[in-house]
Amino acid sequence: MSKMSLRYKDVLFALSAAKSHQQLLGRLQLQKYIYLADTLSLLWEVMNINGYETYKRGPYDPNIQNAVDVLAFRGFVLIKDSKYSSDGNVAVNYEISILGEEIVSKLILEEIFLRKYQLFYLLSEYIEERGWGKLLDLVYSEATYLTGRVAGYGHALKLNSLLSNETIQILFGFNTLTRDRNVKFSRENLLSIFFQILDNYHALHMGVG
């Protein structure tokens, strides 16, 4: 199975969770939303895909764009608000279609896919609280990307290993620090801590990125 086809589920889950907040996603937002989910996939014990590289507007995986294009062609995703941007490119927003929602409802009957959808949905709650326009700021504050971007464009960001996923190293560290007190943070607790870290970094480095 190709990396692009593995991205189909991620695109559908992201758009479905966003739609629960009546939110359309542009190309950049879709990339960044899935990036945050991939950052936390080890915590949720779900598979992610190594495909990101540092790019001029944060981490980018061409497989995500290819996947959403195919899904739109097949009618599982709707293209909305198509227009030319100031740089001459075509800007679009994406929304999951009824057919796409039917696929999601079938996928989440399986535990592994349900767990991944729950990750996207919980992320959407935190993003909604901050505003979907802040997605880029959130990603610019994420530890693995912060380290990787120093190497310039085209640097691979490996999120599926504890050795290279710095966000997971930090979050797992909280449970290590409290082990002697028999305290263990749940996934949901660690997700809240994750967003506090992002918020604090952005507040301290306003305008950096």
118-142 pLDDT, tens digit per residue, is: 999 999 999 999 999 999 999 999 9
Does residue 175 have a pLDDT over 70?
Answer: yes
Q: How far apart are CA 40 and CA 35, in angstroms?
A: 9
Please report the pLDDT score of residue 208 as a whole number. Answer: 47
Please report the pLDDT score of residue 174 as a whole number. Answer: 82
**Least-confidence region, from 77-91, 174-188, 191-205:** 174-188
Please report the pLDDT score of residue 209 as a whole number. Answer: 43
* pLDDT bracket for residue 145 (50, 70, 90): very high
Q: Tell me the three state secondary structure of residue 60.
A: strand
Closest CA to 43 of 166, 191, 196: 191
> C-alpha distances in angstroms, 39 versus 19, 86, 113, 115, 142?
22, 31, 17, 15, 9
Across the chain, mean pLDDT equals 91
